[in-house]
Amino acid sequence: MRGKFITFEGIDGAGKSTHIEWVAERLRTRGPVVTTREPGGTPLGEDLRRLLLHRKMDLETEALLMFAARREHIAEVIDPALARGDWVISDRFTDATFAYQGGGRGLALDRLEALETWVQGSLQPDLTLLFDVPLETAAARLANAREPDKFEAESRAFFERTRAEYLRRAAQAPQRFRVIDATRSIDQIRVTLEDILASI
Ligand SMILES: Nc1ncnc2c1ncn2[C@@H]1O[C@H](COP(=O)(O)OP(=O)(O)OP(=O)(O)O)[C@@H](O)[C@H]1O
Ligand SMILES: [Mg+2]
């Protein structure tokens, strides 16, 4: 049986990485689990990640490189794992491109949709966990966590647009998305995650 594909989404500092290993451990009781991330997830993809997070570039170049890294990720990691029947959990996927490059940067969504179709064919996550927090909460969490990358140095308005695009997509595909109130404590969020995992 084909495996299930779960993606973690949300603005920088929302708490995605905090929960991913915990979710992976829960799912390991049910079968093999592959955890991965975007941009990245392959040697070439990680090289592209370094460029994407630290080099200034044209807006469309950025979107094209995101999808180039994603193509490699799907071909080398995601598709083979799903074909083996593994669970695949990715820290970000295409919703992030719509949110950051579409919402945040203002790139036309139909361009992104064309690339999505090219790169993914019919592949879509079975479940997307959207960690939703106000910008102030995310910024406060990140303040002492690390040096900001190119995206984390963006304006408040950028992240407002990014968050709004995430929420718009979640409202459009309620069967795939679960919006998690990530302002709560890590333990409270785990209770919600446990319920969601029990339902898939
Ligand atoms: N529910 C929470 N309550 C308080 N602090 C939290 C919570 N969740 C995460 N944090 C802290 O907030 C910081 C950012 O969390 P995390 O790295 O998981 O965010 P992220 O969504 O993965 O961000 P990025 O997109 O930048 O990788 C970390 O220092 C983490 O310990
Ligand atoms: Mg993270």
Q: Which CATH number do you get for residue 34?
A: 3.40.50.300
Query: Per-residue pLDDT tens for 45-88?
Result: 999 999 999 999 999 999 999 999 999 999 999 999 999 999 99
Q: Are 37 and 89 in contact (CB under 8 A)?
A: no
Cis peptide before 32 (omega within 30 of 0): no
Ligand 1: residues with CB < 6 A are 10, 12-18, 141-142, 145, 182, 185-186, 189
Specify the amino acid at residue 75: A
pLDDT of 146: 73
Residues 12, 16, 17, 23: what is their CA dihedral angle, to the nearest 10 degrees?
180
- Asked whether residue 15 is marked as a ligand-binding residue, the answer is yes
Can you tell me the distance from the alpha carbon of 113 to that of 67, in angstroms, rounded to the nearest whole number? 11
The reported pTM is 0.96
Strand order of the β-sheet with 177-181 is: 33-37, 87-91, 5-9, 127-132, 177-181
Structural domain boundaries, residue 74? 5-199
Tokens of 32: 């093999």
pLDDT of 111: 97
Q: Three-class SS of residue 9?
A: strand
If we measure between CA atoms, which residue out of 139, 130, 141 comes closest to residue 164? 130
If we measure between CA atoms, which residue out of 28, 34, 97, 98 comes closest to residue 69? 97
Can you tell me the distance from the alpha carbon of 24 to that of 127, in angstroms, rounded to the nearest whole number? 14
Probe target for ligand 1 pocket from 18, 22, 131, 151, with the most ligand atoms within 8 Å of CB: 18
**Domain tally, the chain:** 1
Query: Per-residue pLDDT tens for 151-175?
Result: 878 889 999 999 999 999 999 999 9
**In degrees rounded to 5, what are phi and psi of residue 187?**
-65, -40
pLDDT of 154: 83
Distance from the alpha carbon of residue 129 to the mean position of ligand 2, in angstroms? 13
DSSP labels, 115-155:
HHHHHHTT---SEEEEEE--HHHHHHHHHTT----TTTTS-
